[in-house]
Homo-oligomer: A and B are copies of this chain.
Amino acid sequence: MNAQLNPLQQQAQTLSESVTTPIPGSTKIYLEGSRPDLRVPMREIALSPTPKLFGEDVNHPFAVYDTSGPYTDGAVSIDLLKGLPAVRAAWIAERGDTEVLPGLSSAFGRTREADPALDGVRFAHRLPPRRALAGGNVSQMHYARRGIITPEMEYIAIRENQRIDAITEAHLLRQHRGQNFGASIPARITPEFVRSEVARGRAVIPANINHPELEPMIIGRNFLTKVNANIGNSAVSSGIAEEVEKLVWSIRWGADTVMDLSTGKNIHETREWILRNSPVPIGTVPIYQALEKVDGRAEELTWDIFRDTLIEQAEQGVDYFTIHAGVLLRYVPLTAKRVTGIVSRGGSIMAKWCLAHHKENFLYTHFEEICEIMKAYDVSFSLGDGLRPGSIADANDEAQFGELETLGELTQIAWKHDVQTIIEGPGHVPMHLIKENMDKQLRECGEAPFYTLGPLTTDIAPGYDHITSAIGAAMIGWYGTAMLCYVTPKEHLGLPNKQDVREGLMAYKIAAHAADLAKGHPGAQARDNALSKARFEFRWEDQFNLGLDPERAREYHDETMPKQAHKVAHFCSMCGPHFCSMKITQDVREYADRQEVEQGMAEKSKEFLAQGAEVYRPE
């Protein structure tokens, strides 16, 4: 059988086996919704009982939000050559508002499909594309505004609640009251709440009808803060199998969406492989591919080439498009005196085009036509910030904020068409200027979800920009950003490898969760409480498994205390077995109990004396 597979297919088959390692200590579970084909995945972490020393407690299994898809389900057999099961296919079909097309609508797509030279790299099980019936609108926003609760919305409601109602232990639900800067987070997420948030544009469900493999998720300030990971090959690196592996690797570490930023050859084919194997929304920057089509000469871009690219990608199933429609001709000269000019690739492509033709950005002038395409497939806008600051010096300047105002104007147009929209944000911003970004975005864009890259809070740490930016990301997440675009340690220096993707994601899962805690998101603290309890009770395995990266935690513990016996030791490497801070708490608890008893007795005694010290009181 293998003999018939080409090298890429062989790679994919090998990969199929390697990407299905379950996460240590966890089991995949599914919560069923109102219909049997609505099964929301979660990852359940098994916990051990509290040791006697700390008071014997059961510690029920703890379920966490799970982005990793079927890959971590031991019961599912993965074949990257075939793609994932199409969990949404029936929901899309039964709405009866779409048609299956006889073939691809884009000229470029048809050319690629007909080219025999691409047989070796083409994904074999391409689905026939689907499109809204003529003049129709299949966006989740359109349904929401007509009062329809889609299965996607119900799925999301279950997913966002993270099975919090199954938690019976009061101490796990104990949580600080948050500070949410005007967000409207309910105690429980209902399908109706999801619908209403999508209807008013405050949340987005990126869910192209040509991406039925998708496990629905939502982006909005009143939901859990999300994280995006960028992957993609470039002119100087990486192939298709490597990108698929990065995708699976990204979702394993918690990426809620993945952007494919490929710029090299075979972009079209790489994207197909990624989409067919992705349970998370995939975003792209279509202008990157359009630029490839004109051999990198930005001035030769045309609306027709771009339009064909949008349709090509929409029919593959891309869930959101970054569109730099806010880079207006008049803003371009405002960047001339910057320390780092225009650093967004899309932004500079459009700036170059505007200057070359001395005309307004064609993405802006054709914006309503773009909306027509978006609604026929339910592709969401991610309005790009082409003029975002590339250095601390350039933060919050006229160019950046001018563009943001235009993005606000475009949001209104998109919403007029019931097209879902998120807004991209910076970039490099010192801490004290971050909130101004958030406040202005909320004001200008009518609370459309903000999606920021970091921001990086200083420029002086190349090699550590996952950290410079996690600081800014946590803060802006707290202030209201709905999704954080990760930054890896390779930022500014090179292309991320697998380990960089993991490092970047961990930094951003931390930022997102810190933001949820600070906002007071219902139930957000339960995992912190469970982990801290495990830590305090020296349940080492539980501490590792409740963490964001069980493998790393175990590995680090092994370095100092390698023996398996140490995993159940009631001490740590800081103090050693001789003296232990944690153990003293037992003394403290006994003391406090005794004190309470004594106080109780003293009060009783006082009461007794006050009542005349009679042992037998007359009734």
Residues of A at the B interface (CB closer than 8 Å) are: 171, 174, 176, 178-179, 234-237, 263-264, 291, 296, 298, 332-333, 335-345, 347-349, 351-352, 355, 390-393, 395-396, 428, 430-433, 457-464, 466-468, 470-471, 474-475, 478, 489-490, 492-495, 497, 506-507, 509-511, 513-515, 517-520, 525, 527-529, 531-533, 535-536, 543-544, 546-549, 552-553, 555-557, 559-561, 572-579, 581-582, 584-585, 587-589, 591-593, 595
Contacts and interface: CB of A to CB of B under 8 A. Distances in A.
A460 B531 contact: yes
A176 B575 contact: no
Contacts of A525: 392-393, 430
A493 B556 contact: yes
Contacts of A171: 339, 393
DSSP majority for the A interface?
Answer: helix
B543 A464 contact: no
Contact of A581 (B347, B489, B490, B581): B347
Given A390-B536, A494-B557, A507-B464, A529 B581 contact: no
A584 B352 contact: yes
B468 A588 contact: no
A234 B548 CA distance: 28
Contact of A431 (B468, B514, B595): B514
Contact of A460 (B458, B490, B548, B560): B548
12 contacts: A291-B579, A333-B591, A340-B536, A341-B584, A344-B581, A392-B517, A393-B532, A458-B514, A490-B560, A493-B557, A494-B573, A495-B574
Best-buried of A335, A349, A396, A591 by chain B (most CB within 10 Å): A591
B467 A577 contact: no
Q: Indicate how many identical chains form the complex.
A: 2
Given A433-B176, A494-B557, A576 B348 contact: no
B176 A341 contact: no
A296 B579 contact: yes
A130 to B, nearest CB: 33
B340 A393 contact: no
A591 to B, nearest CB: 5
A510 B509 CA distance: 19
Nearest to A429: B176
Contacts of A576: 234-236, 263-264
Given A532-B393, A553-B462, A588 B355 contact: yes
B296 A342 contact: no
B578 A235 contact: yes
